[in-house]
Amino acid sequence: MKHKAFISVFLSILILLNLSACGFKNERFEESVAAKAANVKYAALTFDDGPYTPVTNKILDVLEKCNSKATFFIVGNRAELYPESVKRAYSLGCEIGNHTYSHADLCSKSHAVIEDELRGCSNVILKITGERESLFRPTGGKNDECLIKDSGRAVILWSVDTLDWSHKNSAKTARAVLDNIEDGSIVLMHDLIPSTGKACEIIIPELKKRGYELVTVSELLELNGITPEQGKRYYKAK
């Protein structure tokens, strides 16, 4: 087994050397080959319903310490209350997604209402970060066809649900992630819940020990050769 692993690593390095010698440079390809040679796994932690500075900043502290990223699906009117947390997340390389302006349930709502909620949140994101978002997560994970179509964005759901909003128990949240995560997973948590901030102090360092790189949703999809498309659902990258 060790002999086979050595050959695999050697061949990966040889490929990179040959490509460089030919003047070919593709950073994402090189990163992917190197990661596979080192047996790196990728996953995306996502947080809904924030920001809420006492919790969001605790999560950001751990992410920064562990050189990791996450994706925050923010609620526009909450971001107006806590813009500094959004700025900090963005400055650390985290991704900011749209979770409506007022945490509205948009199922069965008119196109005008859906557009107003999404535009409201998008305008807040633009004001704070200077960029528009490209990802949307519907409240409650509700994703009927009309909502998906009218969102005008890639719709990001999840493959691991911690149910942190329900039990509000840090040990249960940590166990839900650590027992169920796999390469390509998208994990759902909420940065409104104090116990979730505490759970992340367990989750993030432990995943790093297990060989995971924690990246944004867009990075996770890209690493797996997926280009997010408007009006399409994504539950995981594999």
pLDDT surpassing 50 at residue 8: no
Give the containing element (helix H, strand E) for 60.
Answer: helix 53-65
Q: Is 167 a catalytic residue?
A: no
Assign 101 to helix, strand or coil: coil
Triad 116, 118, 121: Cα angle to 5°: 105
Are 128 and 86 in contact, with CB atoms under 8 Å apart?
Answer: yes
- Does 22 lie in the same domain as 123? no
Looking at the structure of the chain, the number of domains it has is: 2
- Does 139 lie in the same domain as 207? yes
Are 148 and 196 in contact, with CB atoms under 8 Å apart?
Answer: no
- Does 228 lie in the same domain as 157? yes
- Residues 104-162: tens digit of each pLDDT: 888 878 888 989 999 999 999 999 999 999 999 999 877 667 677 778 899 999 999 99
Q: Which residue of the set 99, 164, 190, 191 is catalytic? A: 190
- Residues 58-74: tens digit of each pLDDT: 999 999 999 999 999 99
- Binning pLDDT at 50, 70 and 90, where does residue 31 land? low
Give the containing element (helix H, strand E) for 1.
Answer: none
Within 86-218, strands assigned E span 95-98, 135-136, 154-156, 160-161, 186-190, 212-214
- Residues 159-201: tens digit of each pLDDT: 999 999 999 999 999 999 999 999 999 999 999 999 999 999 9
Q: Which residue of the set 3, 48, 99, 161 is catalytic? A: 48
- Does 18 lie in the same domain as 71? no
- Does 19 lie in the same domain as 46? no
pTM of the model: 0.84
DSSP state of 140: G
Within 142-206, strands assigned E span 154-156, 160-161, 186-190
Written as one string, the DSSP assignment of 119-130 is HHHHHHHHHHHS
- Residues 71-98: tens digit of each pLDDT: 999 999 999 999 999 999 999 999 999 9
- Does 125 lie in the same domain as 11? no
- Does 184 lie in the same domain as 70? yes
Q: Is 190 a catalytic residue?
A: yes
Q: What is each CA distance from 192 to 8, 56, 195, 235, 238, in whole angstroms? A: 44, 8, 9, 22, 28
- Does 228 lie in the same domain as 134? yes
- Does 31 lie in the same domain as 125? no
Residue 115: which domain range? 40-234
- Does 127 lie in the same domain as 107? yes
- Which CATH number belongs to the domain containing residue 225 in this structure? 3.20.20.370
Assign 155 to helix, strand or coil: strand
- Does 47 lie in the same domain as 29? no
- Does 72 lie in the same domain as 33? no
